[in-house]
Amino acid sequence: MRHLNRWLKARDSEKDFWSQKDVKAIKTAVKWENFLKKNFGLTFNFFLSKNIIEVGCGPYGMIHFVDSHASVGMDPLLFDTWHDLGKVNASTIHIVAIGECLPFRDDVFDVCICFNVLDHSMFPSGVMREIVRILKPAGELLLWVNVIYGSLKVIAPLFNWIDKCHPYHFTFQEVFSLVTRNALEVTSIDKKNIGTGNFIQRFHGSLHVSFKLAVDCLLVFNMFVRARKRQKS
């Protein structure tokens, strides 16, 4: 029950976030492809002729802008934008569901996109197991997670109070372990600061933004993982 209540609060915070006017997000195909190149070394051609799903697609997820054989966008929240994005692949199917219980049979998708979602979920390990289950043999996961420095794990409860959208605040090693113990083999991994420059520069820049963003710039960084489902022996 504790996990459910924490997740419900996070879901409501997420709903409030997306209801903001002029919310900051990636909203065009060009910007999403640039993001993909910068952080995974891929282009949209990677998705051609593949069955792809985005777990936690939100209102403007990458799934809305790529061309593929078949595409599914899934999220616990329902968004009006799903039907008015001018996406390349107009046949994208949208499903309201949770990542811990994906309504698909085994071995369906070639690629799963999971961007800034895992730390929003009720049971991250359950989401990972479901992703692996629905991936085809040798299917791939593209994962993006915000993580905190390992030395800050002791003050994770403080992050829970500051950042209500995230029920979990993982370290780099925790995410790596979560991926590898779920029948996935990491093929590339990268991490980047959310802020720019060194610590002093980031601190100075953070003085001009909100408290939450200041904390993010100083204490949180992005982790990008590309992983392949292990073949059964």
CATH number of domain containing 151: 3.40.50.150
Place of tokens 């950042």: 163
Half-sphere exposure of residue 67: CA atoms within 13 angstroms, side-chain side: 5
Quote the number of domains for the chain.
1
Question: Which pLDDT score, from 0 to 100, does residue 199 have?
Answer: 37
Residue range(s) defining the domain that contains residue 51: 2-229
Residue 112 in tokens: 């799963």
Percent share of the chain, pLDDT over 70: 70
- For the residues 86-106, what does the mean pLDDT come to? 85
- The more confident residue out of 88 and 183 is 183
Contact 170, 148 (CB under 8 A): yes
Query: Is the per-residue pLDDT at 201 higher than 50?
Result: no
- For the residues 140-151, what does the mean pLDDT come to? 87
CA distance 59 to 87: 12
> Predicted confidence band at 196 (pLDDT cuts at 50, 70, 90)?
very low
Q: Give the end-to-end CA distance of the chain in Å, rounded to a whole number.
A: 38
List, for residues 108-133, the tens digit of each pLDDT value. Answer: 999 999 998 998 888 999 999 999 99
Percent share of the chain, pLDDT over 90: 48
Q: Which of 78-82, 88-92, 105-109, 192-196 has the lowest mean pLDDT?
A: 192-196
| Strands in the chain per DSSP E | 51-55, 70-75, 93-96, 109-115, 135-148, 184-193, 220-229
Residue 54 in tokens: 């985005």
Question: Which pLDDT score, from 0 to 100, does residue 220 have?
Answer: 75
Task: Classify residue 184 by its DSSP letter.
Answer: E
Three-class DSSP category at 131: helix
- For the residues 41-70, what does the mean pLDDT come to? 94
Question: Which pLDDT score, from 0 to 100, does residue 206 have?
Answer: 43
Inter-residue long-range contacts of 7-14, CB under 8 Å, 24+ positions, other chains counted = 7/121, 7/122, 7/167, 9/164, 10/120, 10/164, 10/165, 10/166, 10/167, 11/76, 11/77, 11/120, 13/164, 13/165, 14/77, 14/120, 14/165
